[in-house]
Chains A and B, each alone.
Chain A
Amino acid sequence: MNTEQGSNGGGTIVPVIPMSVLDVELPLYLSVLAGFPSPADDYLEERLSLDKYLIKHPDSTFFVKVEGLSMVGAGIYPDDILIVDRSLEAKPGDVIVAVLDGEFTVKRLVKKSGRYALQPENPDYKLIPLDENAVFTVWGVVTNVIHKPYEL
């Protein structure tokens, strides 16, 4: 340390710290602390989120994987993932996940001359009319399909 030694005449040596060491110089900032301020600072927005875009009701939304070919006309292929909102009321025209006679199925709900039916989107499959005897429940409404294009 850069100390001076002073003597009080009695022979005892007392270290003295010079003022120059104590005098701490505060740096003078002419500019901001770190680099330039971002001109975008006042315009910050949240980055786009696919979750928020596709899922309106997170608490009633479930993901379901597809097996089978009856809905290819609606763009639903095997191994696709369906986003299913169970809180929505099914309307004619909606693609729905339904439970028919104790089994899951995915079809389009249609209403033809006053009668409801489940319509496949593939000419190889037949329309399923929903008569009084059908044990039928809407499980949820398909809001979106997640599909990898190269798998077609």
Chain B
Amino acid sequence: MTGAGAVYYALADANNFYASCERSFNPALWSVPVIVLSNNDGCVIARSNEAKALGIGMGTPYWEVREVIRKNQVRVYSSNYQLYGDMSERLMNILQAHCADMEVYSIDEAFLKLQPFHGSEAQLMVDMVKLRETVMRSTGIPVSIGLAPTKTLAKLANHLAKKEGIQGVYFLSPGAEVLAGIPVEKVWGVAGGYKKRLAKIGVETALQLSRVPKEWMQQEFGVVGVRLLKELQGFPALGLEPPVTARKNVMVSRSFRKDVYALPELIEAVSVYATRLGEKLRRYNQAAGQITVFLMANPFRNLRPDGRGYFSRTIELPLATSHTNELITWASRAVQFLFEAGTNYKKAGILAERLRPDNAIQGNLFVPGQGREKLQALMQACDELNRRMGSNTVYFASCGHVQKQAWARREQWASPRYTTRWEEILVVGV
């Protein structure tokens, strides 16, 4: 299993990524508790270790921890996705420069596939410690690296690296004693249903799971179960996933700052979401063949007598499109259809499906096709202006006045977009 000639997987995962991004540009945050809130400053989505130690849970609504925050002077930030996105790109590029065989697993974690030419197990450990230092020095982001013969074990190794790794790196070999201390549900791919069925035969730890007879796994969980067993035993059954080149759907959804009761405001909001949707589609040269518009009532204070909270309408577009004006037109129609006076709406969104390359849109006999090149050029011009001069330099009037959108999300504690806006770069007193 080990020694020369073996393939290893490393999972590099940034520690408390969003909080670490904030820290990278602000030394005042280096040793104090920091949290980052979701869109609309609703819930806690990232916590520094100090904030975790205060018992602030992942996903906790902000108002629930307001007292803890005040008492312990926790530093609070609204999410700054412009910054996190750019820092993620930097992190991934640095990791990929070390090992070209990489799978970006999420905004802050990636699998590396290390071949025999990368060196022995001992050499890999040294390299991973060095890689971690390179990332830290280059970006200020601490990462933990789990190293193992399979992806599933690497995931567990990463978990251990965060807890007890030497310099943030942990090597996990199959059958290691430490697996006896890991409950089965921590194993990648073990869902709730699995746990119950495993408990019936007395399997509660990762180590016990790795010793279950293959036949039983086959019978109980099929191919997926056998694959899981193999992975835990150190035989790679999962390779790197190829990068997603064409997405199947795109969604833009956000909750409102406060409940919305009026149709014009809803149309304004959905027009803005349609604008974002168009931008996203065009960035990947895709066009949507179908959109679904949904509205949600405030779940904590639903004013409707029937208590319904979710309303949606799907529209099959006569001609696939990525043009903002067309998306706004269709989305607004859906909102007009769905709107009911007396409902307090809290959230809206648009899901685009049946995506296709925008150079392969099938014509429609009943829809005039001419003039679309002009529209395409107009959209390109808008995108270019917004890219160069900041978003919302030009936008459609149905979005209302950008500064007067009463429903728009609140970002009370946003940090500067240090790496994407000249007017917001880091200022240093000299």
Please tell me which one of the listed residues B27, B137, B428 contacts residue A64 in the complex, with CB atoms under 8 A apart: B428
Q: Is the CB of A60 within 8 A of B426?
A: no
A residues 99-124 in Cβ contact with B at 8 Å: 99, 102-107
The reply to whether B425 and A105 contact each other, CB–CB distance below 8 Å, is: no
Closest to B27 in A: A99
Interchain CA distance A107-B429 in the complex, whole Å: 11
CA distance A87 to B419 in the complex (A): 16
Cα distance, A86 to B141, chains bound together (Å): 12
Q: Is B140 an interface residue (CB 8 A)?
A: yes
State whether A76 and B426 are in contact (beta carbons under 8 Å apart), knowing that A60-B139, A86-B140, A103-B27 are contacts in the complex: no
Shortest CB distance B430–A (Å): 4
- Residues of B near A58 (CB, < 8 A) are 93
Q: B97's closest neighbor in chain A, by CB? A: A59
Cross-chain contact A71 with B430 (CB below 8 angstroms): yes
Chain A residues in 8 Å Cβ range of B27: 99, 102-104, 137
> Which residue of chain B is the closest to A57 with respect to CB atoms?
B138
A55 an interface residue at 8 Å Cβ cutoff? no
Does B367 belong to the interface (CB within 8 Å)?
A: no
The verdict on A81 contacting B428 (CB below 8 Å), with A59-B138, A87-B138 known, is: no
Q: Mark B389-430, 1 if CB is under 8 A from A, else 0.
A: 000000000000000000000000000001100100111111
How far is B429's CA from A106's CA once the two chains are assembled, in angstroms? 8
Q: How far is the CA of A70 from the CA of B28 in the complex (A)?
A: 22
Chain A interface secondary structure, helix, strand, loop or mixed? Answer: strand
Instruction: Decide: B430 and A68 in contact? CB cutoff 8 A.
Output: yes
Report the tally of A-B residue pairs with Cβ distances under 8 A.
74
Interface mask (A62-85 → B, CB under 8 Å = 1, otherwise 0): 111111111100001010011000
Q: Which of B93, B134, B418, B430 contacts A62 (CB 8 A)?
A: B418
Q: How far is the CB of B75 from chain A (nearest CB, A)?
A: 13
Also in contact, A64 and B426, with CB within 8 A (given A59-B138, A86-B139, A87-B134): yes
- Residues of chain B within 8 A (CB-CB) of A104 are 27, 426, 428-429
B94 at the interface (CB under 8 A from A): yes
Report Cα–Cα, A66/B425, bound state, in Å: 10
Contacts A64-B427, A66-B430, A86-B137 hold; do A102 and B90 have CB atoms under 8 A apart? Answer: no
Q: Count the B residues whose beta carbon is within 8 Å of the partner chain — how many?
A: 22
State whether A67 and B138 are in contact (beta carbons under 8 Å apart), knowing that A59-B90, A102-B28 are contacts in the complex: no
B140 touching A97, Cβ below 8 Å? no
Q: How far is the CB of A71 from chain B (nearest CB, A)?
A: 5
Minimal Cβ-Cβ distance residue in A for B430: A68
Considering the chains assembled together, what is the distance between the CA atoms of A87 and B326 in angstroms?
47
Enumerate chain B residues within 8 angstroms of A87, measured Cβ to Cβ. 134, 137-138
Contact B429 A68 (CB under 8 A): yes
Contact check, A103 vs B429: say whether CB atoms are below 8 A apart. yes
Q: Are B94's CB and A60's CB within 8 A? A: yes
List the B side residues contacting A76 at CB < 8 Å. Answer: 430
Q: Are B139 and A106 in contact (CB under 8 A)?
A: no
- Which of A62, A67, A81 contacts B429, CB < 8 Å? A67
In the bound assembly, the distance between CA atoms of A94 and B96 in angstroms comes to 29
Q: Which residues of B contact A102 (CB under 8 A)?
A: 27-28, 30
Docked Cα-Cα span, A86 to B24, in Å, equals 11
Establish whether residues A105 and B429, one from each chain, have CB atoms under 8 Å apart when the complex forms.
yes
Q: A61 → chain B, closest Cβ, in Å?
A: 9
User: A33 CA to B395 CA in the complex, in Å?
Assistant: 42
Could you mark each residue 1-38 of chain B with 1 if its beta carbon is under 8 Å from any beta carbon of chain A, else 0? 00000000000000000000000000110100000000
Q: A60-B137, A76-B430, A81-B425 are in contact. List 12 more A-B contacts (CB 8 A).
A: A58-B93, A59-B97, A59-B138, A60-B139, A65-B426, A65-B428, A71-B430, A103-B28, A103-B429, A105-B429, A106-B430, A139-B140
B contact set with A: CB distance below 8 Å: 27-28, 30, 89-90, 93-94, 97, 134, 137-140, 418-419, 422, 425-430
> Which 7 residue pairs of A and B lie closest in terms of their CB atoms, listed nearest first?
A60-B138, A68-B430, A104-B428, A87-B138, A59-B90, A99-B27, A59-B93
